[in-house]
Structure 1
């Protein structure tokens, strides 16, 4: 229910402004001043709804991923947190494909981000892609932290770790091997998730 001062409306304006800023630039930092200015509200009003930058970022990520992936497995509480996170990480790997498709994906990435001159456009494109992937992982971890499945502190290092694991596994999918990729990949994902959830 909206309060008389319109605070529910200002909260929605803040979330819409922050989401628009991320849509325009996936590397945007969502500073309180910039988001407040974009939403047309005071920084005090923004802080009333979101006491710190982390609270704002979590709310925006929940909004974005709730719309983009309404049936995402991270919300399926019929499964343990461990299995849900592994399923989400596996879902993040899916676009890479396996075998020839994975080789084509990594050949394109190599040509675009490694073999080409590191212009500002190339850097910006890579940062945007990398940041989008990390934000998605951060969203999953935030959901689990809100449930008490892992500590809320030090999410950034967990995100970096899981992002590196996904990068390594996606490269492994492109390499010629006799081993069952899916079996070894599942073992690796569970090992990584156990490391992340181990502090809970």
Structure 2
């Protein structure tokens, strides 16, 4: 792993364990096993480090699963893709809490750059859900005109679940899956058979 990636990973782990306030150059350098001067070579400012943390947290994404397998019902394929977001273990809960801390840290962002970064990071979920819905639209399982509002509705549902988890509410996994299927059935207008 490249040094820059090691620094970012150490920063994420530190923030997940101790909160966003732990993302000082000295603390992250110590967690990485390097000096502050070396860290500043890769990240000249603390803001640059925070930006890298946000970008890394939003990189990648969930697997596409069987979304392309036309032999299976479209509703099942989409539900299985979205299932990756339903259950939040302790690691994912810590990541959600870190996102909230990052959001709060950027709340007095006078030039809007941090808010813009958070928006671009947030768009990963939007883009992923849109991608899955477009696969189904290309198969004729959902009208293309419905992709954007369906994405908004699904992402809002997932956001609500994330907030429930952050606030300590525990949901039954089977019930969450039933609610998700109920929602998807209505969004896809029963064209998913």
TM-score range, shorter chain: 0.5 to 0.7
* Post-superposition offset of 1:184: 2.1
Task: Name the CA shift for 1:179/1:140 in 2 (closer, same or farther; >3 Å).
Answer: closer
Equivalent residues of 2:64, 2:81 under 8 A apart: no
Residue deviations 1:36-61 (CA, integer Å, cap 9, x gap): xxxxxxxxxxxxxxxxxxxxxxxxxx
Aligned residue pair count: 129
Question: 1:88 aligns to what?
Answer: 81
Partner Cα distance (2:114, 2:98) in 1: 13
TM-score, L = length of structure 2: 0.58
Question: Is residue 2:188 matched to residue 1:189?
Answer: no
Distance (whole Å) between structure 1 residues aligned to residue 83 and residue 63 of structure 2: 17
SS in structure 2 opposite 1:176? Answer: coil
1:114 counterpart = 2:96: no
Within the candidate set 45, 60, 78, 2:71 is matched to: 78
Look up the match of 1:137.
129
TM-score by length of 1: 0.56
Counterparts in 2 of 1:114 and 1:188: CA distance versus 1, 3 Å = farther
- Give the unaligned 5+ runs of structure 1: 1-67
- Kindly indicate whether the alpha-carbon contact (under 8 Å) linking 1:151 and 1:199 is maintained by their aligned counterparts in 2: no
* Distance of aligned partners of 1:88 and 1:179 in 2 relative to their CA distance in 1, 3 Å threshold: closer
Match of 1:157 among 143, 149, 152: 149
How far apart, in 1, do the equivalents of 2:62 and 2:97 lie? 28
Shift of 1:80: 0.5
Q: C-alpha deviations, 1:139-183, integer Å up to 9, x for none?
A: 111110111111111321111111111111222233434652x12
1:127 CA displacement: 1.1
Long gaps (5+) in structure 2: 1-60
Change (3 A) 1:194 1:118: farther
